[in-house]
Chain A
Amino acid sequence: DTGVSQDPRHKITKRGQNVTFRCDPISEHNRLYWYRQTLGQGPEFLTYFQNEAQLEKSRLLSDRFSAERPKGSFSTLEIQRTEQGDSAMYLCASSSGQGGNIQYFGAGTRLSVL
């Protein structure tokens, strides 16, 4: 069990570019969550997968955001046409859905949009 892994740890991009982040959950965890966290705030829910199915998506999420979990293992989060307001820490968490649904978080990907 190596924990939840996120790649890259840091991403600097220019406004208007597309970026993609990857999350590798703990093996055999069927639940996967994406959150966005800005400085001084709590994590804000973006989307939730159970296995490969995307079951929940925040209404705050614009159409520029898309997430996939094609084989029910790793997940990707893509932001198209990035804006300066997208600058934040993007966190991924996974859980097995048992024992009270303990979410294990990765260290996050910090995105800076210039």
Chain B
Amino acid sequence: QQQVKQSPQSLIVQKGGISIINCAYENTAFDYFPWYQQFPGKGPALLIAIRPDVSEKKEGRFTISFNKSAKQFSLHIMDSQPGDSATYFCAATGHNFNKFYFGSGTKLNVKP
């Protein structure tokens, strides 16, 4: 059973537009939700993360929205740029950070 479900699988956005990627989870014991960015040939890199005690976190052009009751969270990339073209993964883990569960990834293509 997939612990974290991610959609869409791929996304095409025009430069300057908003990219939105969604994730859902079932395990209510999860309490840390990071997003990672991965470029071809590289390992994932942490982009932004949130805990369920807040509904939104913003860092620059990247915002996580968190809906605890719906067990859903999403990544919003404002003013999307061609350099943002990459694969994005959501993830979840419990309070001891012993085991991370990743979504299946969203390949974002920002067209100039």
- Within 8 Å of chain B (Cβ to Cβ): is A48? yes
Interface residues of A, count at CB 8 A:
27
Tell which of B34, B43, B98, B104 touches A4, judged by Cβ atoms closer than 8 Å.
B43
* CB contact list, A68-112 vs B, under 8 A: 91, 93, 95, 97, 100-108
* Minimum CB distance partner of A50 in chain B: B98
Q: A97-B97, A101-B97 are known contacts. Are A41 and B43 too (CB-CB below 8 A)?
A: no
Majority secondary structure, B binding face? strand
CB contact between A108 and one of B43, B49, B100 (< 8 Å): that residue: B43
Q: How many residues of B contact A (CB 8 A)?
A: 23
Instruction: Tell me how far the C-beta of B5 lies from the nearest C-beta in chain A, rounded to whole angstroms.
Output: 11
Residues of B within 8 A of A91 (CB): 43-44
A105 and B98 within 8 A (CB): no
Kindly list 11 other residue pairs between chains A and B, CB separation below 8 angstroms, not including A42-B4, A43-B44: A31-B97, A42-B102, A42-B103, A44-B102, A91-B44, A100-B32, A102-B46, A103-B100, A104-B46, A106-B43, A107-B43
Q: Which residues of B does A touch, CB under 8 Å?
A: 4, 6, 32, 34, 41-46, 49, 89, 91, 93, 97-105
Chain A residues within 8 Å of B, Cβ to Cβ: 4, 31, 33, 35, 40-45, 48, 55-56, 58, 91, 93, 95, 97, 100-108
A–B Cβ pairs within 8 angstroms, 16 of them: A33-B100, A35-B102, A40-B105, A41-B104, A41-B105, A42-B6, A42-B102, A42-B104, A45-B101, A45-B102, A48-B99, A91-B43, A95-B97, A104-B46, A105-B45, A106-B43
